[in-house]
Amino acid sequence: MKSAIAGLEPGRYRPHRLHDPERRWPQTNCYVDLMIEVMHATGHDPVAALGFTVAQDFEGDQFTFFKFPTADLQLLVGLDIQELAVFDRLETHVLTQIERGRLPLVEVDAFYLPDTKGITYGTGHSKTSIGINALDPANRRMHYFHNDGYFSLEGDDYDGIFGQWSDVPAGGLPLFPYAEFVKFDVTQPARDRAAAALGLLVHHLRRRPKRNPIAAYAAAFERHAEALAHRSPEYFHTYAFNTLRQVGANFELLGTHLNWLDSQRGLFLAEAEAAANTIAEGAKVMQFRLARAMARRRFDGMAEAIAPMAQAWDSLMAMLDERLASASSKAA
């Protein structure tokens, strides 16, 4: 079986500590979780690359679906991500990249992914991103990264992933999936990883939202609640994923990054880390409350419950402005 990253076995793979089940948010979103494990599998610690999380915004109907910026990955771990043009059989494109030692990232239907058993596997359709590391077309087998692990599929599931793209004429339907590929060791990673990570954190702090995004969410929540009141309780999972899970997971990752950076550079970031974790914990509590509110069709007091998270964001940004300005001046 051809593979991009050698030596991996689905049954023996051990996820990165960022996916420890004891964390508040052991899964974040499919793209970030995927890249965490890709970095882990290639010997890099993804914690160093999490500074971008400081810039998350509220987009009016959702929190930013955050992703690792490619430029950050180039600087810290030497990875480059490029779009994969799919103009022929998807299977052929994927195999071509794997044979060149590159990891294809493909948006697929989770209906065909065995690791989602009990959620969508064989029961529901949902778009998600996977990293295809190994492919055996002759025996219809595939090994892939998804969410917090490394898995395998074969047979009908293989056909489900690739079959619908087998004989699509030019200009015909269905549309080809969006795909990218990861090129490894494209650049030499920064020698001083902590210094590079600090520089990236300062960069992303400067581009953070001008308005407190969590306060903006609180202001919009009444409008959201009116819409939620007319939805089935099952819709809670979709809404919560795109709002509370994204903001909670984002700031838990930021807290972990600040802890690591503090250990590397001695920046006295413990209070800032605690503020980030307050947001992460607040989002978790809010998610439980929202589930109950959806069942009762009563959302009173929910917007007010967001206020401590918004206050923590203000405190976090103020502390980072102070600490990082001091660190930058010393470096200069």
pLDDT digits (tens, 9 = 90+) for 152-187: 999 999 999 998 655 555 555 567 889 999 999 999
> Among residues 212, 205, 211, which one has the least CA distance to residue 310?
212
DSSP for 28-62? --HHHHHHHHHHHHTT--GGGG-GGGGG--B-SSS
Instruction: Enumerate residues 6+ apart whose C-beta is below 8 A from 72.
Output: 49, 51, 52, 200
- 240, 290 in Cβ contact below 8 A? yes
The residue among 183, 201, 229 that closes a domain is: 183
Q: Whose CA is closest to 205, among 47, 53, 46, 62?
A: 53
Q: Which residue shows structure tokens 């030692």?
A: 101
Same domain, 312 and 273: yes
Does residue 224 lie in a domain region?
Answer: yes
Q: Each residue of 40-55: pLDDT tens digit?
A: 999 999 999 999 999 9
Count Cβ atoms within 10 A of the Cβ of residue 210 and give its class: 0-12 exposed, 13-18 middle, 19 or more buried: exposed
Question: Is residue 232 included in any domain, yes or no?
Answer: yes
Residue 216 half-sphere exposure toward CB, CA atoms < 13 A = 16
Instruction: Give the closest residue to 55 by CA, choosing from 195, 245, 210.
Output: 210
What angle do the packed helices 270-296 and 246-265 form, to 10 degrees? 170
**Top-confidence residue, 172 or 325:** 325
Asked whether residue 58 is domain-assigned, the answer is no
| Structural domain includes residue 266 | yes
Q: Are residues 175 and 198 in the same domain?
A: no
In a domain, 260, yes or no: yes
In a domain, 317, yes or no: yes
178 and 197 housed in the same domain = no
% the chain with pLDDT above 90:
83
DSSP one-letter string for 60-95? SSSB------HHHHHHHH--EEEE----S-HHHHHH
Counting residues of the chain whose pLDDT is more than 70, the rounded percentage is 95
One domain for residues 169 and 280: no
Choice among 136-145, 190-199, 295-304 with the minimum mean pLDDT: 295-304
In which residue are the tokens 């990673």 written? Answer: 189
Kindly state whether residues 156 and 18 are assigned to the same domain.
yes
Integer Cα distance of 294 and 165 in angstroms: 39
Q: pLDDT at position 132, please?
A: 98
What's the pLDDT band for 331 if we cut at 50, 70, 90?
low
- 188 inside domain: no
Distance CA 84, CA 202 (A): 31
> Are 175 and 197 contained in the same domain?
no
Q: What tokens does 226 get?
A: 């009116």
Question: Which of 183, 209, 244 marks a domain boundary?
Answer: 183
**Cβ-contact 133, 8 below 8 angstroms:** yes
Can you tell me the distance from the alpha carbon of 57 to that of 210, in angstroms, rounded to the nearest whole number? 9
Task: Identify whether 272 is part of a domain.
Answer: yes
Stretch among 127-136, 139-148, 293-302 having the lowest mean pLDDT: 293-302
If you average pLDDT over residues 5-10, what whole number do you get? 97
31 shares a domain with 113: yes
pLDDT at site 174 = 63
131 with 17, same domain: the answer is yes
Tens digit of each residue's pLDDT (9 = 90 or more) over 238-294: 999 999 999 999 999 999 999 999 999 999 999 999 999 999 999 999 999 999 888
Instruction: Give residue-wise pLDDT tens across range 300-316.
Output: 888 888 999 999 999 99
Q: Is the domain of 92 the same as that of 129?
A: yes
pLDDT of residue 332: 46
pTM confidence score: 0.94
Q: Total structural domains in the chain?
A: 2
Give the C-alpha separation, 179 to 81, whole Å. Answer: 10
Residue 237 has which token pair?
A: 């999972």
Segments forming the whole domain that contains residue 85:
2-43+80-183
CA dihedral for 113, 119, 125, 126, sign (positive or negative): negative
Q: What is the pLDDT of residue 303?
A: 86
200 lies in the same domain as 109: no
Q: Which pLDDT score, from 0 to 100, does residue 168 have?
A: 56
To the nearest 10°, the Cα dihedral for 100, 106, 112, 118?
Answer: 120
* Domain stop point among 183, 209, 243: 183
pLDDT higher than 70, residue 328: no
Distance CA 121, CA 129 (A): 15
* Cβ-based neighbour number of residue 281 at 10 Å: 19
Task: Indicate whether 68 pLDDT > 60.
Answer: yes
What confidence category does residue 8 fall into, taking pLDDT thresholds of 50, 70 and 90?
A: very high
119 and 92, same domain (yes or no): yes
Task: Classify residue 127 by burial, with Cβ atoms within 10 Å: 0-12, 13-18, 19+.
Answer: exposed
| Whether 159 and 254 share a structural domain | no
